[in-house]
Amino acid sequence: MTTVAGYSDAQLQELGLDPAKLPQHIAVIMDGNGRWARSRGLPRIEGHRRGVKSVRKIVEECARLGVGYLTLYCFSSENWKRPQHELNLLMSLLKQYVIEERSEIMRQNLSFRTIGRKEGLGEEVLAEVQKTIDYSRDNTGMCLCLALNYGSRGELVDAVQTIAQKVQEGTLNPNEIDEATIADHLYTRGMPDPDLIVRTSGEMRVSNFLLWQLSYAELWVTDKHWPEFRQEELHQALRDYASRDRRFGGLKG
């Protein structure tokens, strides 16, 4: 297997990045595809197609940087409100992505997973997603996680229902339920919480994304639309992240 060469510490320092202060988990709200297209007189779907190019660039760059986990908010549970023709095109793009990127995922030694509800995504899309998950199961590099038909409130509802079922069956004592119990029943179980949340297109909200998991995440927002987002913006986000004083509610002496 040919893997993507990572940056040396010296190369990271040349980019203004501190190897000791890189986040382990980056999560991205990829916003602005439609606005990018509209500002250029193009149909919205062209913005989504261009957004796929940004995904490719950022996935490879995060792998080179040595990031452990990258979660991309690709399709929210609220996105079903969009026109049917756009939904059809988005599902087609998703299917195309997981097929075409399969060889790149293997080349970069990435493990691939998704979070979210499967309902509505379609059998063909789910089959290709599962195939990519299976192909990459033994890979040891960065975990690439796509949030598909994802909503954080729905995730919490699903977790509570599963926990309640276990209590009802007598396999879980209510007095033993703690934060770790809840985390173990979320879609993201087994993954560390995000250290850094990146949002494009200038919106100052989290849009029902990883509400439990981002409790102590740093938020970084850029006015750039997602189709314009490239390595330079990612590096700036990482430099800003490294400059922040992360106390997690405590004090530094």
Tokens representing 22 are 């890189």
Would you say 104 is a known binding-site residue? no
The separation between CA 156 and the C-alpha centre of its own chain, rounded to angstroms, equals 17
- Strand residue runs (E) in the chain: 25-29, 69-76, 111-115, 143-150, 196-199, 218-221
Q: State the Cα angle at 196 between 191 and 199, rounded to 5°.
A: 115
* Residue of 67, 69, 65 whose CA lies nearest to 111: 69
Would you say 31 is a known binding-site residue? yes
Give the pLDDT confidence score for residue 221 in this predicted structure: 98
Q: How many CB atoms lie within 10 A of CB 45?
A: 18
Q: Alpha carbon of 120 to those of 76, 114, 117, 251: distances in Å?
A: 12, 15, 8, 46
Active centre residues (catalytic): 31, 79
State which fold the 18-240 domain adopts. Undecaprenyl pyrophosphate synthetase (3.40.1180)
Would you say 36 is a known binding-site residue? yes
Would you say 46 is a known binding-site residue? no
For residue 148, list its beta bridge partners.
Answer: 75
Q: How many CB atoms lie within 10 A of CB 122?
A: 15
**pLDDT tens string 147-165:** 999 999 999 999 999 999 9
Give the pLDDT confidence score for residue 1 in this predicted structure: 45
Distance CA 61, CA 182 (A): 32
**pLDDT tens string 173-197:** 999 999 999 999 999 999 999 999 9
Task: Please tell me whether residue 11 adopts helix, strand or coil conformation.
Answer: helix
Give the pLDDT confidence score for residue 5 in this predicted structure: 78
- Structural contact between residues 59 and 69, judged by C-beta atoms closer than 8 angstroms: no
In this prediction the pTM is 0.94
Q: What are the residue boundaries of the structural domains of the chain, listed by start?
A: 18-240
pLDDT (tens, 9 = 90+) of the chain, 253 residues, equals 445 679 999 999 999 999 999 999 999 999 999 999 999 999 999 999 999 999 999 999 999 999 999 999 999 999 999 999 999 999 999 999 999 999 999 999 999 999 999 999 999 999 999 999 999 999 999 999 999 999 999 999 999 999 999 999 999 999 999 999 999 999 999 999 999 999 999 999 999 999 999 999 999 999 999 999 999 999 999 999 999 986 656 656 5
Give the pLDDT confidence score for residue 252 in this predicted structure: 61
Distance CA 29, CA 209 (A): 8
